[in-house]
Structure 1
Amino acid sequence: MRDQSSSTYQRRWWILGLLAMSLLIIGLDNTILNVALPTLQREFDAAATELQWMVDAYILVFAGLLLTMGSLGDRFGRKRALQLGLIVFGASSLFAAYADSVEQLIAARAIMGVGGALIMPSTLSILIDVFPREERGRAISIWAGVAGMGIGLGPLTGGLLLENFWWGSIFLINIPIAVLALAGGLFVIPESRDPHPVPVDILGAVLSIAAITALVFAIIEAPARGWTDTLVLASFAAGGLLAIAFIIWEIKTDHPMLNLAFFRNLRFSAGAGAIAITFFAMFGMVFGLTQYLQFVQGYTALEAGVRLVPIALGVVIGAGNSHRLVAKLGTDRVVTLGLLLVTTVLASLAFWQPDTPYWVVGATLFVLAIGMGNTMAPSTDAVMGAIPEANAGVASAMNDVTRQVAGALGVAVIGSAINTVYGRRMEDAVTGLPPEAAEAASDSIGMAARIAAMVPANVGGTLLDAARSAFTDALSLAVLISACAALAGAVLIARFMPRHHLADKSAAPEAVEPHPQDAGAVTSK
């Protein structure tokens, strides 16, 4: 076992490369589909609700299964979970690329969510097993950078593919990446699991899946149906009751899937909170920003994707260097400063105008992403470092659930704020239009652009100018909401997150682990 663990240590950076490759397709898939929705609408003659479910089927299944899949990875093997996830994700991507109907495409997206829920927690839990504590901060910085890079590169990748190939290419791009990660992982990645496995918490798994799914469904549906809609309120209520039932069961059972005592550790709770705030702001901002670039500033999907690249670069630079700052300043200060930078930059977005030059937009996004990267990586390290390594899969899954739920909530809240302010600002601008056209133009800036193209040029120009101004005003309010959330997070992190330097092993709650060469009890080839 000593020799095998030594071999694992020698190839740890190759392992990280394969984990990053696996993670990249998850990040890309979070945003790549958005730029293809107009194309898919034409190809399938899809209704707006069908387009929404092409996106949401993946998110709903992915978020709902994360915690359970992370727990099963701890129990049955994290490499096995990763490999199975890559197979499922690749096969369902092929299914999606050649779907003949809306129903088939939605089903394929749901199956992709199953694969994603197996992949994402496995990547981080394997990283924790492979890297010794003194190198873990750097490895997690790279992991977080790749996660953010995938989200930032999704629109660009989608735009490039749609510009040159058919719509199915946005799904086929996943297959070679999945195959390479799968083949390399077979020979390079070691198997690891909880050395003292306990019986599977079946009821806990069922309750967690039902609770998370109900809550995410309510968050997804709220902007379109309204936050006081009966179905939305019922879903929130069901999710809340199921979450309470899950908590009660986890306290009572002898073998809980999620040990709730973890939340008493301030590093774990504060780290998860910082991640939630960052992804709330990030997903909400990208949602509004893509529309600003395309409908207000007039860029095509590909041109808008290119102009979002500073987000990917900033996250990579911020996350990739955050471990050095943590070693000097401590986790609490780095995360607090990161959130304060995010707060300041988001507030500056409120001063954007419809004709703000791109050099201002690009520079602002780059600095904003650096702040996000400096928040994400140390917070993830705090969450993972607060949990015993035997539970790395569950800890990773909690980290991922936090990201997904907060991201969905960010899109819902920011989307609702934008729609509300936009509609009010457009009331005077649509008074001369037929009722149906006026309602459509007030519903979204995309519809206003369509209406403007169908009416006389002078009327259309006035309508489009009003829509651009209204959307910019709406975006200004939305970014201020995100800025307030980031500021509140900075205050809470500064107050509650314990200081911890990566070099200080004694700050971890569990015993200091041996060097990988002596850790054969957990890792096997």
Structure 2
Amino acid sequence: MTGISRTTGTDGHVELNPRRWWALGAMVASMLVLGFDMTILNVALPTMAEQLGASTGEQQWMADAYIVVFAALMLPAGLLGDRFGRRAMLITGLGIFLAGSVVGTLATDVGPVIGARAVMGIGAAFVMPLALAVLPSLFPEEERGKAVALVTAASALGMPLGPIIGGWLLDHFWWGSVFLINVPMVAIGVLACAFLLPETRDPSSPSVDAVSTVLTVAGLGALTYGIIEAPVRGWGDPLVVGGLVLSVLLLAGLVARERRAARPMLDLRLLAHRPFLLNTLVATLVMFVLSGLLFLLPPYLQAVLGHDAFGTGLRLLPLIGGLVVAAKASQPLVERFGARAVICAGLVVLAFAALLGTRTTADSGYGFTALWLTIAGAGFGFAMMPAMTAAIGALPRDRAGSGSGLLMTVRQVGGAIGIALLGSLLASVFADRLDTGRLPAELADRAGESVVAAKVIAQRLGDPALAASADAGYVHGMVVVLLVCAGAALVTAALAAWLLPRRAADAGVASPVVHA
């Protein structure tokens, strides 16, 4: 199909239309927003916890509402674009994201913020797959690689920019500015897509299964609810147990339904390819740990070490910097030693960094934290990128598209569970270690909700012992989380070394394809 990438002159000569680069610029801006919205809220959570009185569980919901909905709806949103028009659905997604950002800007309580993040997740689920899907109609084959690289680079660049932009905004404006910044950028994206993009469809794509979509959203939501609420209510609480049991039943129903479908929306049969399955699990584990760390580090840097929001964003750069550098350096190493060796080495480096991080104390200071964060970032990069490339390379070429969608979905689910599970573990350990024996029951409960709440109460009462107990309790919780991360990384490294083929060719599959 011919889009705006080519025009035909009166002499029959086909010329490229320069408007395609303006359209690409709009999509790059939109993907940049999606990228930094994955991390921009993390640095704002301590401020929002103080000003809105949000507990650790509510902070987890504010972070996870976006990711859970994003992960659950990414595949059905892409299929809706294929069938009903990619431009129309892309504009719809940007509009939904814009609406969620406006609600977040105006919110004055925790509930509306969580709702706004969920609405933004719906919009992001449309934008992410469709921004890539429209590129073939915009660019000829010789330019398509450059266009894909720019769009994917914008999404990747957003992650390290998020904490920095969020920190600067919080130091100069109110916390709602982390939502407001989305409004002009997304509005420009909507206008550019409306006027510059051609409409394309693929009527032969699988139809959207409404039942499977509901099972996915409800199952992930129930799982997240059970994990987040457990530290507050207790693991034996009927609501927690009911949420976890319901999630198992719903997700089992999803698996059974998708396995019976002639053209499944979520092709779980791809997991029968062992190299794909194992590499997907590696990428998911890395996302699990990375998302968990990005959730627990800002309160440590702000509430325990005393840095402001912008300083916190800057101090997260060693983690992201190590990840970016290692991701770029991984390909030559894969070509020389094979993906298995690089993935295993990355996981071992990650485990070492986590174990080094367990030596952190409330008096360690930032220098030691920067050291183990840099090493952890390198471990993330060396493990994640080869695993993602090897996962898609393990599939037949005619199933690379569906495999890519499944990989991205499962990876995002790993991120959501990382925030929920590691955040809940941290909250539970912190509440157990916090010394609130001298406080009235109401204040004791309030202080146990988060380190920010405990420090605010300690400052209000002039109680340095409570403040010291809060710092020590939070750091101890962080140490326990890092021990879990180290153990998970080592177990995954052992499984990868045992079960992954030494080279891609050993699996008897196609060589890796470029994956966004």
TM range (shorter): 0.7 to 0.9
Q: Which amino acid aligns with 2:245?
A: A
Structure 1 partner of 2:451: 445
**Distance apart, 1:180 and its partner CA:** 5.0
The answer on 1:88 being equivalent to 2:96 is yes
Q: Return the match for 2:509 from 500, 503, 507.
A: 507
- Distance change (3 Å), C-alpha of 1:288 and 1:167: closer
Q: Which amino acid aligns with 2:483?
A: L
Whether the aligned pair in 1 keeps the contact of 2:94 and 2:190 (CA below 8 Å) is: yes
* Distance of 1:189 and 1:323 partners within structure 2: 34
| Superposed counterparts of 1:162-311, under 5 Å | 162-182=170-190, 196-311=204-319
Structure 1 partner of 2:469: 466
* Distance of 1:197 and 1:291 partners within structure 2: 45
Structure 2 partner of 1:352: 360
* Distance of 1:199 and 1:412 partners within structure 2: 32
* Distance of 2:359 and 2:151 partners within structure 1: 33
Sequence identity percentage:
37
* Distance of 2:182 and 2:346 partners within structure 1: 32
* Distance of 1:343 and 1:312 partners within structure 2: 17
**Distance apart, 1:443 and its partner CA:** 4.5
- Distance change (3 Å), C-alpha of 1:329 and 1:140: farther
Q: Return the match for 1:475 from 434, 454, 478.
A: 478
Whether the aligned pair in 2 keeps the contact of 1:68 and 1:209 (CA below 8 Å) is: no
* Distance of 2:427 and 2:76 partners within structure 1: 35
3-state SS of 2:39 partner: helix
**Distance apart, 1:175 and its partner CA:** 2.9
* Distance of 2:135 and 2:508 partners within structure 1: 20
Structure 1 partner of 2:9: none
Q: Which amino acid aligns with 2:159?
A: I
The answer on 1:425 being equivalent to 2:427 is no
3-state SS of 1:507 partner: coil
Whether the aligned pair in 2 keeps the contact of 1:500 and 1:507 (CA below 8 Å) is: no
Which range moves more in the overlay, 109-118 or 86-95? 86-95
Cα deviation, 1:424-478, whole Å, max 9, x if unaligned, reads 333xx4434444444444453223312321334xxx2233223322322222121
Which range moves more in the overlay, 284-293 or 176-185? 176-185
3-state SS of 1:462 partner: helix
Q: TM-score, normalised by structure 1?
A: 0.81
**Distance apart, 1:213 and its partner CA:** 3.0
* Distance of 1:285 and 1:174 partners within structure 2: 24
Structure 1 partner of 2:10: none
- Distance change (3 Å), C-alpha of 1:344 and 1:465: same
- Distance change (3 Å), C-alpha of 1:211 and 1:28: same
Which range moves more in the overlay, 37-46 or 489-498? 37-46
* Distance of 1:204 and 1:432 partners within structure 2: 52
Whether the aligned pair in 1 keeps the contact of 2:87 and 2:199 (CA below 8 Å) is: yes
Cα deviation, 1:110-142, whole Å, max 9, x if unaligned, reads 221110111233456668998999x98x99998
Structure 2 partner of 1:491: 494
**Distance apart, 1:398 and its partner CA:** 2.4
Cα deviation, 1:127-185, whole Å, max 9, x if unaligned, reads 8998999x98x999987775554334323221211222233321122234334555666
Q: Return the match for 2:461 from 448, 455, 471.
A: 455
3-state SS of 1:246 partner: helix
Q: Which amino acid aligns with 1:467?
A: A
* Distance of 2:432 and 2:58 partners within structure 1: 27
Cα deviation, 1:339-374, whole Å, max 9, x if unaligned, reads 111111111000112222323222321221122122
- Distance change (3 Å), C-alpha of 1:415 and 1:505: closer
- Distance change (3 Å), C-alpha of 1:351 and 1:108: closer
Cα deviation, 1:373-415, whole Å, max 9, x if unaligned, reads 2222222223334456666664344233323322222223322
**Distance apart, 1:189 and its partner CA:** 7.3
- Distance change (3 Å), C-alpha of 1:418 and 1:189: same
Q: Return the match for 1:23 from 31, 47, 58.
A: 31
Q: Return the match for 2:376 from 368, 371, 376.
A: 368
Q: Which amino acid aligns with 1:420?
A: S
* Distance of 1:335 and 1:375 partners within structure 2: 4
Q: Which has the higher contact order (CA 8 A, sep 6+)?
A: 1
* Distance of 1:405 and 1:54 partners within structure 2: 15
The answer on 1:408 being equivalent to 2:410 is no
Structure 1 partner of 2:159: 151
Matched length: 504
Q: Which amino acid aligns with 1:508?
A: A
Structure 2 partner of 1:341: 349
Whether the aligned pair in 2 keeps the contact of 1:144 and 1:319 (CA below 8 Å) is: no
Whether the aligned pair in 2 keeps the contact of 1:25 and 1:177 (CA below 8 Å) is: yes
Cα deviation, 1:41-64, whole Å, max 9, x if unaligned, reads 677677887666544443443233
* Distance of 2:450 and 2:274 partners within structure 1: 42
Q: Which amino acid aligns with 1:177?
A: M
